[in-house]
Amino acid sequence: MENQCCSSACSPQVSVPHKAVKSENASHVLRLVIPAMDCPNEEALIRRALEKHPGVAGLEFDLINRVLKIHHALPENQPLVDKLNAIGMKPSEEEAGTGGDTDPNVADTPESSRKEWLMAGIAGVFAIGAEVMAYVSGNEQSAAVIALSLLAIVLGGRETLHKGFTALRTFTLNINLLMSVAVIGAVLIGQWPEAAVVIWLFGIAELIEGASLDRARNAIRSLMALAPEMALIRTDGGAWVEMRAAEVHKEALVRARPGERIALDGVVISGESSVNQAPITGESMPVDKKAGDQVFAGTINERGVLEYRVTAEKGETTLDRIARSVQEAQGQRAPIQRFVDRFARVYTPLVFIIALLVAFVPPLLMGGEWYDWFYKALVLLVIACPCALVISTPVTVVSGLAAAARRGIVVKGGLYIEEGHKLKFIALDKTGTITHGRPALTDVVAFEGGDKDEALRIAASLEAHSQHPIAHAITAAQHGDLAQVTNFESLTGRGLRGTIEGVAYFVGNHRLADELGVCRPDVEEVLDRLEDEAKTAMILATNERVIAVLAVADTVRHSSETAVSELKALGIKPVMLTGDNSKTANAIARLVGIEEARGDMLPEDKLAAIDAYSSRGPVGMVGDGVNDAPALAKAHIGFAMGAAGTDTAIETADVALMQDDLTKLVEFIRLSQQTARVLWQNIVIALGIKFIFFVLTLMGAATLWMAVFADMGASLIVVFNGLRLMNVPKMVSTEPSLKVADVPSGG
């Protein structure tokens, strides 16, 4: 079972070396694929063998993909390979820098898996046969029973015994050594059938556990599998040909046909379609795409043909960055995981010592039977294995990270998935977070029975000559033809003037209305009302009268009110920190249900505010990752909003919400709550079963095979309990109807 995960302390994670990975003295990087290296047990053996080897500057462990990188200054690699062969690791050498981070060829092949199960099946027949024969004959030490038991031990336990011997040679206390001692001890006291059954059960449990852990491992690798291997590109001659996506360069023109997955990130050049972006953003509804829109690798083109220009090569796409971020996050152990690791390092030797005391103290000092107490000590050795305890945390954290990634939430470490539910405050930027971050037309109020549509057409015709964001908002709202404008003039600080069909029109602010002398009481009333709502109000007028008032503002996202309400329900206080004026901030806050809002804030003011909230409890900060960078860094957890396609946000935020949807923040916190619950459930299960069998052993009611069942059963229970997180249903929020609280764009 060389490629299977050892039952003790297995965790598909990236391990960061204790000392610096790179050194000025390291001039070479040796990249090795080690199929047997997928547990901290193997990592410990490798560290012991290589860390003090002359010329080795540092080690990088990728237990997910079973890859080891050695930074060294040796003239050749062979001495390092020999060292690994000596401890049974059997590495295959690749040149440094080759192979992807999710190299599929390191996984077990179906053939090797079938062979292992076949060998386990045959070993089981022999082990059970020995047990039946011993029961029928009443002789556990007959030649036939011993022969069947030996065959079962050799076929089903050879690898365990080999690893146990290696652990003994390197003075490493792990489950393989404990199991080997237990089996050899059972043989020495004549319990041949039980020794065979124990090592066979252990092997079966390893196979099942390895398969279940591969599910967690493949959850990350499957992200990479979403992007197709081939892409249809246009050659210089104009022909369309299939090419490996890894060979396509930036600026290449790629065609995505209906039903196909998009191979690389790019910008649409021609065509219209709807694209399912769930692999990137987690959003369930397809998004319409047209020329100028961005598309992402791994997303699904649903109905039309799209031609897009590549903006990111294979390995640098948004999907690649997400997978890389989640994979690297597994190396950042969560606090509870670090506690469990420290506990296990003390617990295992302690129970080993207790087992020795149980074996020798009663017979030597209390007149106990050597056979009985030695047998109890062997049972304790099996129970001593902390595999269920140690394995529970990494599998649960990996499952939580994978579940978040499926929802379009990229979490940069186990720390954040565990600690997210502890947040007491969430500080929200306004523009681009609570609001869309772009002005939109919200009101058209016509006077004296005027036509709103005609007023909008005239205003949009004038504004089409301006580059101001407010002008863009008004022209974007006009879907019909624009009028011909002559004698156009920009009135600095006030508005615009132009002639349409022989009539001089003005579009401008309150000051312009006063200058024209057309600001009647009813117009003043409308202007005051709109401005009290923190909207930017513009008049459309002639020299004689006001025709209409138009209001422009930054619209609130559909999800903002829902998210704020959900945060409150979770016991988290949302606050707003914005660079916009206080009047605007308060208007938006009232609309979405935020009770505390601070306006006119510079980046350093936001930083100070985060500092103040932190003194009252853990605080999270949600922003765009640019002007909010200091506050994001200062917060306990920094959330980047709408990070899809944004290199900086994905790589620097603690948590990247790939979709512009604040309910993703609520999903993250709920997933964090569930992860924390499962972590504690697993710890209670693991320690509870240990305690029960510890008592049963001292009472003489537990046997070796029962101990194996209990230990491996606990491991499987916590593994499958942790994997449940990947099947937790996504949050379904009932979003309120579109609300517009429209304010000038700002902080």
324 contacts: CB under 8 Å, gap ≥ 6: 101
Report residue 265: phi and psi, to 5°: -65, 145
pLDDT tens digits for range 456-513: 999 999 999 987 778 888 998 998 889 999 999 988 778 899 999 999 999 998 888 8
- Candidates 304, 303, 309, 218; CA nearest to 263 is 309
Q: Which residues contact 146 (CB under 8 A, 6 or more apart)?
A: 192
What are the boundaries of each domain within the chain?
14-105, 112-220+330-396+678-727, 230-316, 448-544
**pLDDT at residue 486 in the model:** 93
CATH of domain 14-105: 3.30.70.100
* Residue keyed to tokens 């506990």: 343
- Report the 10 Å Cβ neighbour count for 427: 27
Contact 442, 552 (CB under 8 A): yes
Catalytic residue among 341, 429, 443, 660: 429
CA 58, CA 46: separation in Å to the nearest integer? 12
Residue 618 has a pLDDT of 94
Whether residue 429 lies in the annotated active site:
yes
Q: Which residues of the chain have pLDDT under 50?
A: 1-24, 95-110, 732-747
- Class of the CATH domain delimited by 230-316: mainly beta
Spelled out in words, what is the top-level CATH class assigned to the domain 448-544?
alpha beta
Query: Are residues 131 and 94 in contact, defined by beta-carbon separation less than 8 angstroms?
Result: no
pLDDT of residue 207: 76
Question: How many other β-carbons are positioned within 10 Å of the β-carbon of residue 423?
Answer: 23
pTM above 0.85, yes or no: no
Q: Using alpha carbons only, how large is the chain's radius of gyration in Å? A: 34
